[in-house]
């Protein structure tokens, strides 16, 4: 579960939370603007946005997030709106992260036309403002494809919502190009359209592109569900050489997952499969595992935030044993539990080339975490990212984790946030990082019940690393004296120490569910939105 999702894990209320008032929407824009202009690890790497650019980006982010959330809410109007609020926040967080990674742009860059973007072999409509495309605008936007189509092998229609008339304009143009196309991005290209129209648009694009020999296909952020997957059936069935497939945030339910498995006849060349933020569940994960079994050269598998429990987790773990080329594995924010964690530990030994593994918020507990750490210690020698946050791990598992971490000399990012390692665990982890680890640049042990001794040891170790960028020990129980000591260690490089504003020197647990009974929906909604945060995704 990412940080935004956690913000929305409060108890349910009977009041309607959707839609928000215009005032609440404006407040969110203001909050995002402040977030975008605040110095951070992102601004140090990508550059700091100006206030003017941040305001414009924040407005656009809010409009997109609201449209996606509202579309979701309209499909289940009898709900309290809580799931729509969650989508609203998660989309806002995702898009803010994209803007931060993009960095500052000039005004001229913002107003760049599609003709400037479509140079070389790539035709890209995704930059600039999000908009609804009808026939007239489609004629203008797609003119370069009509006039110079033989030069393009990659097309991206993302961030432009195509209506039925616009799709009909695109149909003959795409038919003329399909023998040369190798990469197609149709992510987020029907947002805000009624379901019947969106499905017909998908079907038109699918028939136009049927028979393309694609290596890359992105159909993310289209809220497809099973109907949408089947609307793309002719395109999916015709793919024999697909290397990358992205179906993120598509409402991929159990039935939709079965449809995906059914409609992709050939996966022998698939290197990347991403299913982030869907409703796959256990049975859906079993269907996805069938695709995984048929993907022997898979290098990058993401099935995070897909509501997969123990049964589905075990199925995925067993299927992954055939993927000996795997380099990146992301299973975050599911409900695996100990049993699925144990099954996964038996699989990890086959991943000799693994460089990144994301296993946060899987309910692994000490037993699952120790099993995984013990196997990882002896495998994945080139591991660069280890993320195992939010798994109820205590100091009991710290020795196994520390032994694993000590063996990973190429480690760049370590995330053990939101566990219960306390000082004992923090000190063992810190000592494991003392020797070597010359590439280490980020350590997160926030919210781990750590006090002065653990914080001080961690700070002493990482501050000496030559390329280190960020230590996060916020949300712990560090005394005022301990905070002063840590800050003094970073006095020559204060930007390497994360904020400590949520530290509790008294060591008292915070009651996250403390809310006044009977609060109206605006108070409830605002209290949720105030927690909006950015969390680095793999």
CA–CA separation, 416 and 414 (whole Å)? 7
Give me the pLDDT at residue 226, please.
Answer: 94
Compute CA distances 118 → 126, 128, 208, 213, 437, whole Å. 10, 13, 21, 21, 43
User: pTM surpassing 0.85?
Assistant: no
Compute CA distances 415 → 131, 384, 441, 493, whole Å. 38, 11, 11, 21
Are 205 and 167 in contact by the 8 Å Cβ rule? The answer is yes
Give me the pLDDT at residue 489, please.
Answer: 96
Place of tokens 């498995």: 261
Give me the pLDDT at residue 513, please.
Answer: 40
Give me the pLDDT at residue 7, please.
Answer: 38
Are 231 and 206 in contact by the 8 Å Cβ rule? The answer is yes
Burial-class residue 152 by CB neighbours within 10 Å (0-12, 13-18, 19+): buried
Are 231 and 205 in contact by the 8 Å Cβ rule? The answer is no
Give me the pLDDT at residue 195, please.
Answer: 92
Give me the pLDDT at residue 111, please.
Answer: 36
Any residues with CB less than 8 A from the CB of 382 and at least 6 apart, and which? 353, 354, 355, 410
Q: Tell me the two tokens of residue 248.
A: 């993120």
Q: pLDDT digits over 92-139, tens only?
A: 887 787 777 667 754 434 433 333 333 458 899 887 777 899 999 999
- Low-confidence stretches of the chain (pLDDT < 50) are 1-15, 106-119, 509-522, 533-538
Is the bond leading into 350 cis (omega within 30 degrees of zero)?
no
Give me the pLDDT at residue 59, please.
Answer: 81
């Amino acid at each position: 579960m990412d940080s935004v999702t956690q913000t929305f894990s409060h108890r349910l209320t009977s009041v309607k939370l959707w839609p928000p008032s215009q005032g609440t929407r404006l407040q969110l824009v203001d909050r995002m603007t402040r977030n975008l202009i605040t110095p951070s690890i992102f601004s140090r790497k990508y550059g700091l946005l100006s206030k003017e650019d941040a305001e414009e980006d924040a407005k656009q982010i809010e409009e997109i997030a609201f449209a996606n959330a509202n579309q979701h809410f309209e499909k289940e109007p009898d709900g309290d709106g809580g799931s729509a609020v969650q989508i609203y926040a998660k989309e806002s967080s995702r898009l803010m992260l994209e803007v931060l990674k993009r960095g500052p742009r000039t005004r001229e860059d913002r107003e760049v036309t599609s003709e400037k973007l479509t140079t070389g072999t790539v035709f890209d409509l995704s930059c600039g403002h999000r908009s609804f495309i009808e026939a007239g605008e489609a004629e203008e936007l797609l003119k370069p494809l009509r006039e110079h189509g033989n030069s393009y092998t990659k097309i991206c229609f993302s961030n432009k919502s195509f209506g039925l008339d616009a799709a009909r304009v695109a149909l003959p143009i795409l038919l003329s190009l399909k023998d040369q196309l190798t990469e197609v991005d149709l992510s987020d290209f029907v947002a805000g359209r009624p379901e019947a129209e969106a499905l017909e648009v998908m079907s038109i694009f699918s028939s136009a592109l049927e028979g393309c020999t694609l290596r890359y296909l992105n159909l993310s952020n289209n809220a497809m569900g099973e109907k949408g997957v089947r609307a793309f059936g002719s395109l999916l069935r015709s793919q024999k050489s697909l290397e990358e497939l992205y179906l993120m945030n598509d409402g991929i339910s159990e039935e939709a997952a079965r449809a995906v498995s059914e409609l992709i006849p050939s996966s022998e060349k698939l290197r990347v499969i991403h299913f982030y933020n869907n409703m796959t569940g256990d049975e859906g994960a079993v269907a996805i595992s069938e695709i995984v079994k048929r993907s022997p050269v898979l290098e990058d598998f993401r099935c995070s935030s897909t509501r997969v429990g123990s049964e589905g987790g075990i199925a995925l773990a067993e299927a992954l044993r055939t993927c000996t080329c795997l380099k990146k594995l992301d299973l975050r924010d599911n409900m695996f539990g100990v049993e699925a964690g144990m099954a996964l530990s038996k699989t990890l030994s086959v991943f000799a080339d693994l460089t990144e593994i994301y296993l946060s918020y899987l309910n692994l507990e000490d037993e699952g975490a120790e099993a995984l750490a013990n196997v990882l210690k002896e495998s994945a020698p080139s591991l660069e990212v280890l993320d195992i946050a939010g798994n109820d791990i205590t100091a009991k598992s710290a020795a196994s984790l520390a032994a694993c971490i000590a063996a990973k000399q190429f480690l760049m990012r370590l995330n053990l946030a939101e566990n219960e390692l306390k000082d004992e665990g923090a000190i063992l982890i810190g000592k494991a990082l003392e020797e070597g680890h010359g590439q280490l640049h980020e350590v997160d042990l926030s919210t781990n019940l750590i006090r002065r001794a653990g914080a001080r040891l961690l700070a002493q170790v990482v501050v000496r690393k030559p390329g280190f960028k960020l230590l996060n020990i916020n949300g712990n129980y560090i005394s005022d004296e301990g905070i002063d000591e840590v800050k003094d260690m970073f006095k020559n490089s204060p930007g390497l120490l994360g904020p400590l504003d949520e530290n509790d020197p008294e060591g008292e647990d915070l009651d996250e569910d403390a809310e006044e009974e009977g609060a109206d929906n605006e108070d409830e909604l605002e209290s949720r939105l105030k927690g909006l945060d950015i969390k680095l995704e793999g």
